[in-house]
Amino acid sequence: MGSSHGKSLAERQGEAVDRSLLNHLLKMFTALGIYTESFEKPFIERTSEFYATEGVKYMQQSDVPDYLKHVEVRLHEEHERCLHYLDASTRKPLIATAERQLLERHISAILDKGFMMLMDGKRIQDLQRMYLLFPRVEALESLKQALSSYIRRAGQSIVQDDEKDKDMVSSLLEFKASVDTIWEESFSKNEAFGNTIKDAFGHLINLCENRPAELIAKFVDEKLRAGNKGTSEEELEGTLDKVLVLFRFIQGKDVFEAFYKKDLAKRLLLGKSASIDAEKSMISKLKTECGSQFTNKLEGMFKV
């Protein structure tokens, strides 16, 4: 029996084994009714010990992307082992043992050590690998919490830096676009993750009371003013649509309205508007978001 365990463990360490011979041998154990007690149970125990040691060693020696690739390879190898010579009954406890020792035990360390780095680096494939592996040990909730913490921490430096007020909206738009790309390509547009992103950005936008509302209104004013050379109607529409995403997060929409109305009046009175069509398009977007009561006064300014 020991030699059967030994051959399987040796294979994990890169040694070639005769899988056909092992398959025949283990089928004999099954026929004799001794497979589970004499082979499977001790084999699972030794597997647990092997991966417990390897998991700790590799976590210390590897960065997170390499560690996750290693886990992926190991789980595939165990699956192949089940297909080639182990009894079908062994598959579930074997894979669960490998997942527990290589993944479940190290979830916190994986996130602490590598999640921020992967997000900052926009490592789409590595984040996707993490997203696909974590459900195997019911760790998606931990990944979701890490995403929320990351957005709040990284976004805080954007919205609370008074010296960068001028760039706050464009920086937020860039940050949101980056997170959305990761959500789409790495996290498979997972609805729960999408809600986490919305909640985190809502928290960010309202960290500084009314300041973001004012700055978003000023950003729109800048885009709608005449003199934006090289900006096509399509590009302007695209920018306004993106800004609207940030607008949705604002709790004090009346603050936005006050600044927007004042800036609109200046553009119209001084003939500084880049495009009346764009002005009306923006008001139409605001009307769709907030209703006609919100935009009545703004629409009335075009009738004077």
What's at 154, amino acid-wise?
A: A
CATH number at residue 81: 1.20.1310.10
Q: What is the pLDDT of residue 4?
A: 59
Look at the chain and report how many structural domains it folds into: 3
Kindly state whether residue 184 falls inside one of the protein's structural domains.
yes
Domain that holds residue 292: 209-304
Mean of per-residue pLDDT scores for the chain: 90
Q: What is the pLDDT of residue 303?
A: 65
Residue at a domain's end among 80, 102, 124:
102
pLDDT tens-place string over residues 21-79: 888 888 898 889 999 998 999 999 999 999 999 999 999 999 999 999 999 999 999 99
Q: What is the pTM of this model?
A: 0.89
* Cross-strand pairs, 225: 273
Distance CA 127, CA 206 (A): 28
Spell out the SS3 assignment of 111-153.
HHHHHHHHHHCCCHHHHHHHHHHHHHHCCHHHHHHHHHHHHHH
CB of 30 closer than 8 Å to CB of 80: no
pLDDT tens-place string over residues 63-105: 999 999 999 999 999 999 999 889 999 999 999 999 999 999 9
Distance CA 174, CA 278 (A): 22
Kindly state whether residue 109 falls inside one of the protein's structural domains.
no
Tell me: pLDDT of 304 over 60. no
Kindly state whether residue 159 falls inside one of the protein's structural domains.
yes
Distance CA 164, CA 157 (A): 10
